[in-house]
Structure 1
Amino acid sequence: MTGPVGDIADFAALDPFFRIIRVGLAGLVDGEHFFDLLAEDVVVEYVVSAPGYPRRVQGRRAVADLYRGYGDVIVLHGADELAVHHDPATSVVVLEYAVHGRAVHTGHAYDNHFVSVITVKDRQVTHWRDYLDPVAVFRALGWPAEPR
């Protein structure tokens, strides 16, 4: 299946994340797949993140390019703990959720919690601020290397 960013199968490692976001934004946005929910010129800011990850990405295609290689590093198998806070007056939705998976190269479990502050206009996501636990990323990827 192809979507606005190419072959959707390229993003299979992120399916649990995509599903929980669609559930959290249900009734507020239009689109079948995660990338359909994003405005063409969406701005995504990674406020609390991991070293080497960009702080700001603009455009649906740029977000897709960033996420395309995710499955080479981590494969998700679940997402839960969803809490949705919506302020209709400001069109802002705050999603709290957790994702669970495994790091490809280390085999370590990956369990992280997120807070995403999302602005919706004309039934599309126009701005997204993301906060995560970088220590969870470090543990999954084996940073720093464990002593032998």
Structure 2
Amino acid sequence: MPADPEETFRRMIDLMLAKDMNAVADLWAPDGVAEFPFAAGGSPRVLRGREEVRAYLAHYPELMDMREVAALTVRPTDQGDTAVVEWTATGRTVATSRPYRLDYVVVLTVRDGLIALYRDYWSPLSAANAAGGLAELLGSLEGKREGKREGENA
């Protein structure tokens, strides 16, 4: 089992490329957390525990066919269990067969060789565009804004 953040992240990427989402989820601590601070639309902002991560990842290969990691930089921090990872994934969107290139910044904390915290700063606009769902995402955001306006007038 990988021990440090870089080894753990590289193992996760290898498993994602192999489309083994169960094994990816098994890298999480039972109480590990995945956070997506920039999530929008129907995307979750927080997943708590390995099984929520497993459920979230279950259908990922049916949506996005990640084929390569085009760039990967791991930046250790002064805390040995935490690293900042900048990476770029390329592949194709299954529904549209369109190619995609998505950039991520992840803050990863590992405890006992398992992911304790995975904070993923990804762009929901870029992901929705790659998946062919940009109009739907923008519509959901517009609906939230309209709902807020209605609530403010009440």
Q: TM-score scaled by structure 1?
A: 0.70
Structure 1 unmatched ranges of 5 or more:
1-15, 22-32
| Alignment-derived partner of residue 19 in structure 1 | 14
Cα offset, 1:141, TM superposition: 2.2
Distance 2:77 2:28 in 1: 19
Distance 1:130 1:20 in 2: 17
Question: SS at the partner of 2:135?
Answer: coil
Distance 2:40 2:67 in 1: 21
| Alignment-derived partner of residue 97 in structure 1 | 87
Cα offset, 1:132, TM superposition: 0.8
How many residue pairs align between the two structures? Answer: 119
Structure 2 unmatched ranges of 5 or more:
1-10, 17-22, 137-154
Q: CA RMSD in A?
A: 2.3
Distance 1:18 1:88 in 2: 24
Task: Decide which of 128, 134, 138 is 2:118's aligned counterpart.
Answer: 128
Larger Rg: 2
Closer, same or farther: CA 20–48 of 1 in aligned 2, 3 Å? farther
Task: Decide which of 34, 39, 61 is 1:71's aligned counterpart.
Answer: 61
Distance 2:67 2:12 in 1: 9
Share of identical aligned residues, percent? 29
Q: TM-score scaled by structure 2?
A: 0.68
| Structure 1, 88-97 or 40-49: larger mean CA deviation | 88-97
Q: 5 Å matches for 1:1-148?
A: 18-19=13-14, 33-89=23-79, 91-142=81-132, 143-144=134-135
Query: Is the CA contact 1:17–1:99 (under 8 Å) kept in the aligned structure 2?
Result: no
